[in-house]
């Protein structure tokens, strides 16, 4: 009898590039996952970063640090344009907010806070499966901003676009 549940997940390996100046703990944690292959890349300069990502072909890029003169949000936006099939997760000590999401060009698919670091493998799997790993309040704020800028309700029977 075939078991279609968790064993299917282990058939494909998720390639993860962790962009960080201090990736040892996360790499050790991720190396224990049979369905995740992770490498660490130092964010020394953008050209080297692009070259290493091109060689590795990650499914997921987990960003903790960026090269000098660039924020992690902007790096996410930039990488999203160059690696269109790759999804980005940002590892952050800050509470994610709409401005961070906007600065990424809405390319980020997940934020992993320091408190959630032991769930990094789950966040990677969720984002790899096409979902987002975002705080509920951020999703609510994003939807509220979208709807407030998109629709004007004239009457209960009429909805028109701005």
| pLDDT digits 0-9 by tens, 70-117 | 999 999 999 999 999 999 999 999 999 999 999 999 999 999 999 999
151-155 and 158-161: which strand pairing? antiparallel
Neighbours of 119 (CB within 10 A): 14
In the predicted model, is pLDDT for residue 18 greater than 70?
Answer: yes
In the predicted model, is pLDDT for residue 145 greater than 90?
Answer: no
Q: How far apart are CA 36 and CA 10, in angstroms?
A: 9
Q: Which domains does the chain have, with CATH numbers?
A: 12-133 (3.40.50.2300)
Average pLDDT, stretch 132-137? Answer: 93
pLDDT class for 68, splitting at 50, 70, 90? confident
Q: What is the pTM of this model?
A: 0.82
- pLDDT for position 105: 93
Q: What percent of the chain has a predicted confidence (pLDDT) above 90?
A: 75
What single-letter DSSP state applies at residue 133?
B
In 3-state terms, what secondary structure has residue 83?
Answer: coil
Q: What percent of the chain has a predicted confidence (pLDDT) above 70?
A: 85
In the predicted model, is pLDDT for residue 151 greater than 70?
Answer: no
- pLDDT for position 160: 55
Q: Which of 42, 39, 33, 49 is nearest to 16 (CA)?
A: 39
């Amino acid at each position: 009898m075939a078991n279609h549940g968790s064993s299917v997940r282990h058939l494909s390996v998720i390639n993860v590039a962790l962009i960080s100046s201090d990736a040892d703990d996360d790499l050790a944690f991720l190396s224990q996952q049979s369905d995740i292959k992770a490498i660490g890349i130092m964010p020394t300069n953008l050209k080297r970063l692009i070259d290493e990502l091109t060689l590795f072909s990650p499914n997921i890029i987990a960003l903790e640090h960026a090269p000098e003169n660039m924020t992690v949000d902007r790096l996410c936006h930039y990488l999203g344009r160059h690696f269109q099939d790759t999804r980005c997760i940002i590892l952050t000590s800050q509470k994610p907010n709409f401005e961070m999401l906007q600065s990424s060009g809405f390319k980020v698919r997940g934020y992993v806070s320091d408190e959630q670091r032991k769930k990094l493998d789950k966040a990677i799997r969720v984002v790899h499966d096409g979902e987002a790993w975002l705080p509920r309040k951020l999703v609510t704020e994003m939807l509220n901003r979208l709807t407030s800028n998109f629709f004007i309700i004239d009457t209960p029977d009429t909805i028109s676009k701005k």
